[in-house]
Structure 1
Amino acid sequence: MAIVATLDTKAQEADYLCDIIHRSGRETILVDVGTTKTEARPNDMTAGDRVATPAELLQKIAAATRPRIAALHASGVISAVIGVGGGKGSSLFGEVVADLPYGFPKLLISSARPALLAELAAKSDIIIYPTVVDLFGVNGFTGRILENAGQAIAAMHYTPPPVRRSTKIVAITAFGVTTPAASGCVARLSKAGIEAIVFPANGAGGRKMEALVARGEFDAVLDLTTTELADEVVGGTASAGPDRLKAAGSRPVPQLIAPGAVDMVNFGPPSTVPDRFKGRQFYSHTPYTTLMRTTASENQEIGRLTAERLSQAEGPCLVLWPARGVSDYDREGGIFHDPMADAAWLSAVKCELPTKIECRELDCHINDPEFADTAVAWIVSQLQGKPHANAHV
């Protein structure tokens, strides 16, 4: 397994990890991402040429090391990777393991600030082990962390999935307020012999789904919950970025799109809501999550953006509209019930969507069984007779 570390500052910790892993019966290779040359070691890989500024240097190291890590995995040399570092080393670790497949063991021991660790967790399936104390050699505190992490990574193994699967797989997006819809779709797909993988529509979930769809992991996408677009448009905390709703159309694989939870924008505790939204309609979903109801003008822009991105789709696509509400809070008597605001989304979609893409309206709530029935029936009809996707992992 690979040990990624800045050996100019974390050599003691890297050596300690080597010893722990060797005692567990596994072999190691050290990958130096340090910014200063170190004494050569038989199994070390160094970043190569140095450049002038710190920013350029980090970019150079990441660009040189990332393909080397990917090549070690592709050739079967490594079956896991562990990193140890502070802020600089942790940031580099996130970059150099970015091409490794989902499920490949990646463990990071880090003393970096929580915000950086949260950013890494939002982008990858890295297992993060915060040290709390700083990393200045091996002592009574850091030694405990290194011992646990070394034994943990030594026990991990990776078995690649088959290139061709025996079961078709559909990606689904869900939020707490669309859970009944997602659960209904998962159950119906299971009865049809199709596996469903559910992603939380919280920003990180949408980004990861798009990345995995682009890599060929899924045969279809049942995008029930496109609330991340609301955060992108309005400025909430759960945006999945500008690539949301693009991967499925470029593969292309069948995709069904619904306006799940576009009635809300996400923020943290009430104190974190920007002042510009003063006077808006809010609901405290949890002590740590404040939801804001979207307006008609915001929904119009969300719908326009949805149609714009779907218009580039090369594969089968269906937009499914639930006329009686788009979330558990958006139903008759609900705190976010606003049919006119919702209708602005539908109007914009119908106006901007190309004629090749159908927009079908249902007289039901998104969480009603009828919606799941219709959505799954369309997905199953699209997958019948089609070969399984190739998993590019």
Structure 2
Amino acid sequence: MSHHCADDQRSVRDGHLSEPATAALGAVAVVVTMDTKGKEASFLADVIKARGRSTVLIDIGTSSNPNLARPTDGAGARLASPAELLKEIAATTRTRVAGLLASGEISAIVAIAGGKGSAAFGEIVSDLPYGFPKLLVTSARPALLAELATHHDIILYPTLVDLFGINAFTARVLENAGRAISAMHYEPSKHERERKIVAITAFGVTTPAANQCVSRLADAGLDAIVFPANGAGGRKMEQLIAAGEFDAVLDLTTTELADELVGGTASAGPGRLKAASRQQIPQVIAPGAVDMVNFGPPSSVPDQFRGRRLYSHTPYTTLMRTTSAENANIGRLTAERLSQAQGPAVVLWPAKGVSDYDREGGVFWDVDADKAWLEAIKGNLQREITVHELDCHINDPEFAEAAVTWILEQLGQGGSSRADV
């Protein structure tokens, strides 16, 4: 079955764009399952064209991709599920989109999708650069959208109504989506950056430390990009480190490892604390917020943790204090991953607490549990990596000064420090 977004448009497989791109902007790729969303795709393409942008139609419908393996009743033949077919289409399309980007033909991408199409779109855009405009107009369930948000910088536009052709409600959504994506475009940097960039991890309970580090780096002429250590932030930081975006990492807040090991909601997955080691860039590692594991409202805390020390950070976030045994496991995992470092690395230990809640008199103050992390680090870290024990809290100015001074020395920026690191 052959479909077109507009009379003068052809799919990417035909090798044509709908019309010449404007001098300043590339085309907008429109990703859609034409067998179910053809009317919506045509409407959206017309909105985009009316604003001076050309479009490239990318059809990911299973019925219009005849070259893929199909379910069959043949004896002994493999039955391909719709999910498997869509995953194969997404992989093929990801390669195609990368080629369009490399050739400069597209500078933005938009999709119209339900649940399966939204999942496929997440796969399709996974290799696109950070900041490349990625807009998803979707009727998918909120849980899927939340998952997509933890992996990509996709702009999510939930329709709230289902997508069954053009009506008074879907027209409003598609008009807005078309206007929005028409105004966006990606332009790769043509010049080497003038200032070095340091990636920093932060949580609410380590924000004072992050603020001080950002300020100190700025004074030294360096830029700092801060990532929230909430799972999505750590995962994105690792991806950008691997892409060569940073000159050093100041990993103040490694709390995502606690969630990874204990089962909280802020895990960044098994790729955390690995990219900087492979990229051979300097990295400071600190135990920021490893005293806590994240859950949702109190009712969401698993039954196995009833009776543990819990604290309501907000009505929607419940924090659980880590035990000595858990901190030992977190420290061991940290040491194992950091030991793979191929570049300069150092561990800084704040003896007076690892978060705002972990200080004398605080709700999570537990010296023995904290020390379990330190002892596991010292017992499992390769000898070439030094552990510096500082007699201060992680949010004290002395800690930020020590961390930034080490980074500056590794980057050849000089600088003085009041801390002996």
TM-score range, shorter chain: over 0.9
- For 1:216 and 1:152, how far apart are their aligned partners in 2? 29
- For 2:313 and 2:282, how far apart are their aligned partners in 1? 33
Q: Look up the SS of the partner of 1:359 in the other structure.
A: strand
The C-alpha deviation readout for 1:3-37, integer Å capped at 9, x for no partner, is 00000000000000010001001000100011112
- Alignment partner, residue 122 of structure 1: 150
Q: Are 2:305 and 1:286 equivalent residues in the alignment?
A: no
- Alignment partner, residue 99 of structure 2: 71
Counterparts of residues 39-118 of structure 1 (less than 5 Å):
48-52=67-71, 53=80, 54-118=82-146
Q: Are 2:36 and 1:9 equivalent residues in the alignment?
A: yes
- For 1:372 and 1:282, how far apart are their aligned partners in 2? 28
Q: Are 2:216 and 1:197 equivalent residues in the alignment?
A: no
- For 2:274 and 2:203, how far apart are their aligned partners in 1? 20
Q: Which amino acid aligns with 1:366?
A: I
* Structure 2 counterpart of 1:155, from 180, 183, 195: 183
Q: Percent identity?
A: 69
- For 1:377 and 1:267, how far apart are their aligned partners in 2? 35
- For 1:327 and 1:48, how far apart are their aligned partners in 2? 55
* Structure 2 counterpart of 1:171, from 199, 215, 238: 199
Q: TM-score, normalised by structure 2?
A: 0.88
Q: Are 2:52 and 1:25 equivalent residues in the alignment?
A: yes
Displaced runs of 4 or more, over 4 A: none
- For 2:329 and 2:88, how far apart are their aligned partners in 1? 40
The C-alpha deviation readout for 1:313-353, integer Å capped at 9, x for no partner, is 10000000000000000001100000111000000000101
- For 2:315 and 2:121, how far apart are their aligned partners in 1? 33
Q: Are 2:251 and 1:215 equivalent residues in the alignment?
A: no
- For 1:331 and 1:241, how far apart are their aligned partners in 2? 28
- For 2:382 and 2:66, how far apart are their aligned partners in 1? 49
The C-alpha deviation readout for 1:287-325, integer Å capped at 9, x for no partner, is 000000000000000000000000111000000000000
* Structure 1 counterpart of 2:63, from 12, 20, 36: 36
RMSD across aligned positions (CA): 1.1
Q: CA deviation at 1:160?
A: 1.3
- Alignment partner, residue 405 of structure 2: 377
- Alignment partner, residue 331 of structure 1: 359
- For 2:129 and 2:263, how far apart are their aligned partners in 1? 31
Q: CA deviation at 1:49?
A: 2.6
How many aligned positions are there?
378
- For 2:353 and 2:36, how far apart are their aligned partners in 1? 56
Q: Are 2:135 and 1:135 equivalent residues in the alignment?
A: no
Which one is further off, 48-57 or 112-121? 48-57
The unaligned stretches of length 5 or more in structure 2 are 1-27, 72-79, 415-421
Q: Are 2:376 and 1:357 equivalent residues in the alignment?
A: no
Q: Look up the SS of the partner of 2:343 in the other structure.
A: coil
The C-alpha deviation readout for 1:195-252, integer Å capped at 9, x for no partner, is 0000000001000000100110000000000000000111100011111100000011
The C-alpha deviation readout for 1:99-143, integer Å capped at 9, x for no partner, is 110000000000000011111111000000000000001100000
- Alignment partner, residue 11 of structure 2: none
Please say if residues 346 and 387 of structure 2, whose CA atoms lie closer than 8 Å, have aligned partners that are also in contact.
yes
- Alignment partner, residue 249 of structure 1: 277
Please say if residues 111 and 130 of structure 1, whose CA atoms lie closer than 8 Å, have aligned partners that are also in contact.
yes
Larger Cα-atom Rg: 2
- For 1:107 and 1:304, how far apart are their aligned partners in 2? 40
Q: Are 2:239 and 1:188 equivalent residues in the alignment?
A: no
Please say if residues 47 and 65 of structure 1, whose CA atoms lie closer than 8 Å, have aligned partners that are also in contact.
no
- Alignment partner, residue 5 of structure 2: none
Please say if residues 33 and 47 of structure 1, whose CA atoms lie closer than 8 Å, have aligned partners that are also in contact.
no
Query: Residue 339 and residue 385 in structure 1: after superposition, are their counterparts in 2 closer, same or farther (change >3 A)?
Result: closer
- For 1:191 and 1:159, how far apart are their aligned partners in 2? 29
Please say if residues 188 and 376 of structure 1, whose CA atoms lie closer than 8 Å, have aligned partners that are also in contact.
yes
Greater RCO (Cα-Cα under 8 Å, separation 6 or more): 1
Q: Look up the SS of the partner of 2:359 in the other structure.
A: coil
